[in-house]
Amino acid sequence: MKKLSLPRAVEIFEVGIRDGLQNESRRVSLDDKLVFARGLLAAGIRRFELGAFVRADLVPQMADTENLYEAVHQGELVLGKARAFALVPNIRGLERAIDSGAKGIAVFTAATESFAKRNIGMSISESLAVFKDVVAEAKRAKIEVRGYVSTAFGCPFEGKVSPSKPIKVVEKLIALGILEISIGDTIGVATPKGVTEVFTPLLRSAKKTRFAGHFHDTRGTALANALRSIELGVTILDASAGGLGGCPFAPGATGNLATEDLVYMLDGMGIKTGVNLERLAETSLAFSQKMVRPITSRYLQAFASGKVRNA
């Protein structure tokens, strides 16, 4: 095999508090979210999802997003050099983000029409039209914008997704001036072949845009896909502390790639993340115990046994 050129550092974009908790049935108190967020920051997380400015009646788990930003404002959650992101579906959401003092937002659409319609109630092109104003307004307010493309590899309604579909949507997000785009395997069907097919053309054509890999572990392939994506040159990976989250389309299945498993692998490969694995694991373990759910992070399962340090 030819020699791979791996990056020296990979940034972990932590999505547990939003993407993770949004897919958990158990509700979490504001205080518990704050303790969790403080732990993640202490472990070295620098960019993370804190909430979503969406309709509380539709996504009750995110109803306290204003309160979380108020805690930042009051100094109860000290961000320091870290940056919190919140999902924003439209101009109304952006106004709430601006009012809350958010410095980072994420807009989200999909690679497939059926998923876009079911998830955000708009067609893909309608969503892009909405984002146009959101992105322009956010830029004026000096807010960093992240774009998400869901169902980039497979769709619960349309099945296998051709690489051309996420690539087309990405091109339109780039045209709106979005500088970071997260490519999501929403239902966890991707394998390294699909990862290669989607990321290779994106990385080749990208000038200023950075790409993140957002992998779900529904079929066990998330970390292998993360490995392949960094082999291709991706340097940002979304992950969820403790493996929080699930898959609404496959009840009982695993959700997001667990941050611990990812950091363990990258540490072992000598790739810097800035995240302290032991502090992270302690934080995730304490939070998982509050959630009264089985731990899905493999690393955390081993950590919980108290035997990991011996190895």
**Residue 294 within binding range of a second copy, rule CB under 8 A:** yes
Of 254 and 283, CB closest to a second copy: 254
Q: What residues form DSSP beta bridges with 159?
A: 155
What's the min distance (Å) between Cβ of 76 and a second copy? 33
Among 253, 282, 286, 293, binds a second copy (CB under 8 A): 253
Cα–Cα distance for residue pair 209/262, rounded to 1 Å: 23
**Residue 41 within binding range of a second copy, rule CB under 8 A:** no
Burial class (CB in 10 A: 0-12, 13-18, 19+), 248: middle
Among 187, 202, 244, 275, binds a second copy (CB under 8 A): 187
Question: Which stretch in 23-31, 35-43, 115-123, 259-267 sits in contact with a second copy by CB under 8 A?
Answer: 259-267
Q: What is the token pair recorded at 244?
A: 């929080």
- Alpha-carbon dihedral sign for residues 64, 70, 71, 72: positive
Among 232, 236, 239, 280, binds a second copy (CB under 8 A): 232
Cα–Cα distance for residue pair 268/254, rounded to 1 Å: 24
**Residue 269 within binding range of a second copy, rule CB under 8 A:** yes
DSSP character at residue 240: B
Among 258, 275, 280, 291, binds a second copy (CB under 8 A): 258
Among 75, 249, 289, 290, binds a second copy (CB under 8 A): 249
Question: Which stretch in 25-33, 49-57, 83-91, 294-302 sits in contact with a second copy by CB under 8 A?
Answer: 294-302
Among 60, 121, 220, 274, binds a second copy (CB under 8 A): 220
Question: Which stretch in 34-42, 101-109, 164-172, 224-232 sits in contact with a second copy by CB under 8 A?
Answer: 224-232
Q: Quick check: 112 and 73 in contact, CB under 8 A?
A: no
Q: Quick check: 212 and 234 in contact, CB under 8 A?
A: yes
Give whole-number Cα distances, 183 to 101, 188, 189, 245, 260, in Å. 26, 12, 13, 17, 20
**Residue 59 within binding range of a second copy, rule CB under 8 A:** no
**Number of Cβ within a 10 Å radius of residue 303:** 22
Burial class (CB in 10 A: 0-12, 13-18, 19+), 42: middle
DSSP character at residue 121: S
Of 54 and 223, CB closest to a second copy: 223
Q: Cite the beta strand spans of the chain per DSSP E.
A: 11-14, 47-52, 83-87, 104-110, 144-150, 154-155, 159-160, 180-185, 210-215, 236-239
What's the min distance (Å) between Cβ of 32 and a second copy? 24
Question: Which stretch in 22-30, 57-65, 90-98, 155-163 sits in contact with a second copy by CB under 8 A?
Answer: 155-163
**Residue 305 within binding range of a second copy, rule CB under 8 A:** yes
Cα–Cα distance for residue pair 277/300, rounded to 1 Å: 10
Known catalytic residue at 155: no
Kindly list the catalytic residues: 247
Q: Which residues bind a second copy (CB under 8 A)?
A: 1-5, 154-156, 159, 187-194, 217-221, 223-224, 226-228, 231-233, 247, 249-254, 258, 260-261, 264-265, 267-270, 294, 297-299, 301-302, 304-305, 307-308, 310-311
